[in-house]
Amino acid sequence: MQHLEKNEKPSIYEYTNFRVYLKALYDHFKSETSHFSYRYFSQRAGFSSPNFLKLVIEGKRNLSPASTEKFIFALKMTKSEGEFFKGLVQFGQSKSPAERSRAASLLLKSKAFKSVYPLKDAELKYYAKWYYIPIRELVGTNIFKEDLNWIGKRFRPELKKSEVKEALEDLLLLGLLYRDESGNLKQSYQNISTQSEVASSLVSQYHKEMIRKASDSIDEIHRSQREISGTCISCSPLVVDKIKEMVREFRKEVMAVAAQDQGANRVYQLNFQLFPLVFNEESEK
């Protein structure tokens, strides 16, 4: 989140938490207009409670669709700001990871957000669209061709040329790909690191998509080209932690082996899942 100059109105597109945004917006109006207060806001918005805005900011009250519309009017949001604010409210008040993922995806559709913050938009799409990561990996193989049609046909389901073009442009913008002196696309060693709540939700969405693709591969891909296995075990929390550490170490070993492969000509997805099937206590569910 950027630091604001004195009296500069905060941009809603810089926020992923609507309560934090409301606090910043309240502080801005308070500094601009001496009579602006929680009571004044409630009168302008039509709320009977004189401190309703304060309660919302503190997380003690949620916003209904009707209340959200009142906030948009009282805080003088533009049409595009209002639509983005609705998305933030939906995201912030979601009761399940699935709802948060859907709300996060809706935020990506804001044209104003895309135009004002193209880098952040590209970053969120990197998590939201499952094929961005495989395309980056494909660039690192020895068979890669910078041909939109050729790239699209390597995927199942086949990607549209427009999807491939957008992905390459965003990966270049993020610094995850670059062009060498000859103009050829190359992988960089840069990683994306973000604390965004929206991005975290989209990462969960990505994992779910990869698990679905693993399930589909049982029927769609010959067993000679895949490895799927599982085991059911009983163990203590102490052993669970040990297994998780073993998985993390094995993942590092796999990445090291892949990094040294000079003949890479395919892109694979390797998933790890460890989760309880039977619970010890009701509270663990």
Secondary structure of residue 177 in the 3-state scheme: strand
* Gap between the Cα atoms of 29 and 22, Å rounded: 10
pLDDT of 4 reads 46
pLDDT digits (tens, 9 = 90+) for 87-114: 999 989 988 877 887 788 778 778 877 7
Cβ atoms of 138 and 267 closer than 8 Å: yes
pLDDT digits (tens, 9 = 90+) for 24-59: 999 999 998 888 999 999 999 999 999 999 999 999
Residues 6 or more apart in contact with residue 11 via CB below 8 angstroms:
2, 116
Residue 280, pLDDT > 90, answer no
- What is the CATH topology of the domain spanning 1-93? 434 Repressor (Amino-terminal Domain) (1.10.260)
Listed by start position, the domains of the chain span: 1-93, 121-259
Average pLDDT over residues 140-165: 95
| DSSP string over 184-203 | -EEE---------HHHHHHH
pTM of the model: 0.68
Which residue has tokens 């499952």? 130
